[in-house]
Chains A and B, each alone.
Chain A
Amino acid sequence: MGEAIVITSGKGGVGKTTTSANLGTALALLGKKVAMVDTDIGLRNLDVVMGLENRIIYDLVDVAEGRVRLQQALVKDKRFDDLSMLPAAQTKDKSAVTPEQVRDIVLELKKEYDYVIIDCPAGIEQGFRNAIAGADRAIVVTTPENAAVRDADRVIGLLEQSQVPAKLVINRIKHAMVKSGDMLDIDDICQVLAIDLLGVVPDDERVIKAANSGEPTVMDPTSKAAIAYRNIARRILGDMVPLMPLDDKPGRFRKLRKFLGIG
């Protein structure tokens, strides 16, 4: 029996879909059997980020309403055999499925896959309730902005009520801004939200470039964001991986100072 993890945030645009795509891929990279479920009915994106848009034949609503079997609707990834995705419908809205239907689908996926990654829509309404229905645990994504932290706090409260344990991923940290005091730092956020930190992903332009080309960032090992996602995936598997240092460029000067033992 696998484990279902919902990726949620409350606020839109903080990187739920990017995180879903990258963590799903990273887990597959580590040799796990992974299914990703897009529950953002009406505004599906996960397929675009994964570059699988043109392979979709059936979707979540078709499965929920029993028109097709789950296996028929699953889209196989082009990079990994053990990675599949269940796309959301684009022409319906969130009320097209019920939490019970999603729970049944996730339960069926858990029988065959090690991890089921559920991409949650923004908001706390029906779409959110659908997404968390089958989840064993949650990853709450936030960015270092007050509005995002506020919404994350609200979502954590709702998850606690539904008894879904949650961990935190802080996305798009800009080290230079944190250092100059213009951005909330990791400690501030963790103090307010008071849940375990699963990882911190630095802001990286390559993430946007990768998403546009339908190739998850995590495939590019030279990107800092990719390393961060890989580390988070390993922490999901239970490995102890220290947080990586965030300062962007060690620089030749600093390397030299370190070499001389005065850094």
Chain B
Amino acid sequence: MTDKPHITIKGVKDGLIFLFDDSCDFAELMDELRFKLEKSHQQLLSGPLVHVHVKLGSRPASEEDKEQIRSVIRQRGNLLVQTIESEAPRPDPAGASEAFKLMTGTIRSGQTVEHDGSLLLLGDLNPGGALRCTGDIYVLGALRGMAHAGTEGRTDVIIAASQLRPTQLRISDVISRPPEEWMSADASMEYAYLEDGRMQIDKMNQLVRMRKEPMLFKGV
């Protein structure tokens, strides 16, 4: 056990507050929590039902971490975890979707690729394979499997492929099943997008109408 305790237990009107240090290792924190509950503070913490509020400081905590804290505290039957608070800065959603990933290879049947942001696949997406992104999906190859863009609700994203022959396309929560719903005559570069909540397919050179980004040309 380290010299300085990482966990401070405070009594308040409606129960106990566990203040966790936010700079030490999480495993170390758990060890100390167990030690405090089972050994040093055993007498103090036994008795009638007590509500517990856990404050994690600025430590970012996943659901798994929180569940671990709950299960450790729950071992003492009289302690009831009410809240687990973390003041960790939330990952900036705008910043995350900027993340662009380049991937080379074939996504085969049974394989799933997930990415937070946009993804460019240099290769094929085969039937039975799945590709999920929170941003755009571009495939330099044949898209034959399932592609889902905007998995977290963005509706301004597109799915583009050199050969758009999917088993299913999803943008946000709109699902489209070609060839029942649409089928393009030739297999040249196309992209799928949402317009008024419906999936549309268009030629790649039409994308500029949807995304008006300034382009600088040199020369005359």
> Interface of A with B (CB < 8 Å)?
150-151, 153-154, 156-158, 160, 191-192, 194
Contact = CB atoms under 8 A, between A and B. Distances in A.
A153 B142 contact: no
A154 B145 CA distance: 13
Interface of B: 106, 108-111, 123-124, 126-129, 142, 144
Query: Which secondary structure dominates where chain A touches chain B?
Result: helix
Given A157-B109, A157-B111, A150 B124 contact: no
B109 A194 contact: no
Contact of B110 (A157, A191, A192, A194): A157
B142 A154 contact: no
B142 A157 contact: no
Query: Which secondary structure dominates where chain B touches chain A?
Result: loop
A140 B127 CA distance: 18
A-B pairs with lowest CB-CB distance, top 9: A157-B108, A154-B109, A153-B109, A154-B110, A153-B108, A153-B126, A157-B111, A150-B109, A194-B106
A151 B128 CA distance: 9
A89 B110 CA distance: 30
A150 B110 CA distance: 9
A252 B184 CA distance: 44
A156 B129 CA distance: 13
A124 to B, nearest CB: 8
B160 to A, nearest CB: 20
Contacts of A194: 106, 123-124
Given A153-B129, A154-B110, A157-B110, 5 more contacts: A158-B110, A160-B108, A191-B142, A192-B127, A194-B106
A88 B89 CA distance: 59
8 contacts: A153-B126, A156-B108, A157-B109, A157-B110, A157-B111, A158-B110, A160-B108, A192-B124
A194 B127 CA distance: 13
Nearest to A146: B127
Contacts of A192: 124, 126-127, 144
